[in-house]
Amino acid sequence: MADLQMKLLRKKIQKRSEKNKERKQKRSNADEEETVGSNGLEEDQREEAAYEACFQPEENRAEDPAAEETPLKKKKKKKRKLTEADEPPAEKKSKAGKEEEDGDVGLNDKDEAKGGGDEEEEEPELPTGLTGAFEDVAFSSLAELVSENTLRGVKEMGFNHMTEIQHKTIRPLLEGRDILAAAKTGSGKTLAFLIPSIELIYKLKFMPRNGTGVVILSPTRELAMQTYGVMKELMAHHVHTFGLIMGGSNRSAEAQRLANGVNILVATPGRLLDHLQNTPGFMYKNLQCLIIDEADRILEVGFEEELKQIIKLLPKKRQTMLFSATQTRRVEDLARISLKKEPLYVGVDDNKDRATVDGLEQGYVVCPSEKRFLLLFTFLKKNRKKKLMVFFSSCMSVKFHYELLNYIDLPVMAIHGKQKQTKRTTTFFQFCNADSGILLCTDVAARGLDIPEVDWIVQYDPPDDPKEYIHRVGRTARGVNGRGHALLILRPEELGFLRFLKQAKVPLSEFEFSWSKISDIQSQLEKLIEKNYYLHKSAQEAYKSYVRAYDSHSLKQIYSVNTLNLPMVALSFGFKVPPYVDLSILHSVGLWMCRWWITGSPGILRTTQVLLFISFCVLRSLSGVSMVTEAELQHLMFQRLLLIIKSTSPSLVLPDL
């Protein structure tokens, strides 16, 4: 019964908004005919006098048209009862708001007489200072569709104009359309789905007893917290309930809040599925909207099965929004099972010649393995007064460099997946609020997080593919007039990755470094790692995790573990001799040798197999062989194994090498 009432109410609201839009259009047409004469100047003077009386400066005229219209929007019934005598003031206000918006759109055109015929263009010109994917479309233009409370929250957050993704998605979403949207990182996707979802709950007059009406899924806890924080600001003037559930939080407390009624819920997939299946008081049968933020990232981190289960459990009659920075085949598959038959596809970057924002200056530097840490240390020390994020390939590598840099008096912060949630949360907000600082992190921080005013993105360990690169550098140059820099550190053997970046529309130029100015602290680093037990242990784990992560790269033609010069790599971790790394490649070589030799002598299988494994392990520990990387090393190892086996089993027939 509740579902039917909400559906009817929603239809009434849509019809009413359409009627209001038609009435508004008729009034604006009438206004345009009346203002052809000389009344425009007098009206402008009256408006200026009114603003001066309200102590508002001229440059803020276009920012608060909603404030003028508030007396007309307190109650919809009053609008219907307006007499003809009451209409002229409303016409003046609507006309003033329209003129102000047109004035904003044409800030670059000083000659209004020449540009008068272009005021109704669908794609307004960019005002001075707006770059990249941003259009000058005021949020005040949504006054007929969005509640005053929401617009007030948007204004208090400091946003006056919509970005391109917001301009293209908010109106269709307010009409109830399903959407699959793709846009660059930092383009404003969060507000694009939060505003329609809040309006949906507001217009349906959701109460706590109605349960959950909107669910927003985020791939990581940090992104979920950030989305919740933005929603908290937008909901400052609303009375509806909202909440956050995610892994690492108190589950019983979450269950209690859900039982009390949470109208808008931000969640991570795993914890949401847990509550859907195991929390009896969780009322989601009235769900009106499902939002999947960073859909491609959710699929990448292994939540595909959870998503399918969630979609099965949630009501089928709902609005669905999929937002992402990239479009992949898996995202399209998800869209097929979650969206309606004819969703609206919005891709604001489809025709752009660059996959990153315009305010980003990005480049690379070629650095041999043994000098990687020296380069990083010099760069961080030189830019310690700025705000930097440094990306590593593994949690253990982040941990080691965090301990090392702090030990040598270069303060840094760290976020990685093996930290406790409280530590990750504290560090995240600490770095967000800091004017300067260095954050070492894994890709857990590369998706969706809006960290203000990051000056440099340093990719110490290379990304797995161009998509990962784009998401990493998306942490800087965010928002209107955003500016930032990105540095990619590559080994000479990894330069082929630039071809893939070029294909992905990522322009990079080579940065020149004066190697004579690089801090030569290699000897001090080696002494420190040798004498400090805890740093030595941490460096060992970091070195091993680096090699394993390198071996797991998907672009094997670029990141081949066989191209690693392990003694040189070890120097960047402070080791004179490379630590032993047990990779799966060693096990596969050992098994292959067993099969090869066993087939040559099928008479004594079990004894030979045991003997080969023992001799292989003994040789590996005695000779210091840490990894099979070169053909010469493999040949040497096979020869030594043959000598051991021949001395222990002279009758065994072995193939010639």
**DSSP per-residue string spanning 520-558:** --HHHHHHHHHH-HHHHHHHHHHHHHHHHHHHT-S-TTT
* CATH at 313: 3.40.50.300
Using one digit for the tens of pLDDT, what is the confidence trace for 34-84?
444 444 444 444 444 444 443 343 344 444 444 444 443 444 444 444 334
Helix-then-strand count for the chain, H and E: 26, 16
In a domain, 577, yes or no: no
In this structure, are 111 and 165 located in the same domain? no
In a domain, 210, yes or no: yes
How confident is the model over 87-115, as a mean pLDDT? 39
- Is there a contact between 222 and 424 (Cβ–Cβ < 8 Å)? yes
Give the range among 24-33, 393-402, 525-534, 609-618 with minimum mean pLDDT: 609-618
Task: In whole angstroms, give the CA distance from residue 433 to residue 430.
Answer: 5
Domain end (from 98, 118, 138): 118
Scored b (16 or more CB within 10 A) or e, 214-243 reads bbbbbbbbbbbbbbbbbbeebbeebebbbb
Task: In whole angstroms, give the CA distance from residue 330 to residue 311.
Answer: 15
Neighbouring C-alpha atoms within 13 Å toward the C-beta of 400: 27
In a domain, 576, yes or no: no
In this structure, are 441 and 589 located in the same domain? no
- Is there a contact between 294 and 324 (Cβ–Cβ < 8 Å)? yes
Nearest to 508 by CA among 350, 383, 360, 372: 360
In this structure, are 431 and 555 located in the same domain? yes
Using one digit for the tens of pLDDT, what is the confidence trace for 219-260?
888 889 999 999 999 999 999 999 999 988 899 999 999 999
- Is there a contact between 268 and 298 (Cβ–Cβ < 8 Å)? no
Would you state the structure tokens that stand for residue 481, as one six-digit string?
């007039």
Residue 120's CB: how many other CB atoms inside 10 A?
Answer: 9
Indicate the pLDDT class of residue 197, thresholds 50, 70 and 90. Answer: very high
In this structure, are 295 and 405 located in the same domain? no
Task: In whole angstroms, give the CA distance from residue 370 to residue 35.
Answer: 73
In this structure, are 323 and 419 located in the same domain? no
In this structure, are 590 and 565 located in the same domain? no
In this structure, are 149 and 272 located in the same domain? yes
Number of domains, the chain: 4
13 sits in which H/E element: helix 2-34
Q: Range of 597's domain? A: 584-648
- Give the contacts of 351 (CB within 8 A, at least 6 positions apart): none
Task: In whole angstroms, give the CA distance from residue 331 to residue 358.
Answer: 26
Question: What amino acid occupies position 452?
Answer: P
Using one digit for the tens of pLDDT, what is the confidence trace for 590-601?
444 444 444 443
Strand pairing report for 161-163 and 134-138? antiparallel
In this structure, are 323 and 245 located in the same domain? yes
In a domain, 657, yes or no: no
Domain end (from 69, 92, 118): 118
362 or 632, greater pLDDT:
362
In this structure, are 381 and 512 located in the same domain? yes
How confident is the model over 426-447, as a mean pLDDT? 85
In this structure, are 386 and 532 located in the same domain? yes
In a domain, 654, yes or no: no
In this structure, are 487 and 590 located in the same domain? no
In this structure, are 468 and 381 located in the same domain? yes
Considering just the CA atoms, what is the radius of gyration of the chain in Å? 31
Indicate the pLDDT class of residue 374, thresholds 50, 70 and 90. Answer: very high
**Strand runs (DSSP E) across 411-453, as ranges?**
413-415, 437-441
- Is there a contact between 322 and 155 (Cβ–Cβ < 8 Å)? no
Would you state the structure tokens that stand for residue 188, as one six-digit string?
């404003």
Nearest to 134 by CA among 188, 173, 185: 188
pLDDT of residue 642: 65
- Give the contacts of 177 (CB within 8 A, at least 6 positions apart): 319, 343, 344
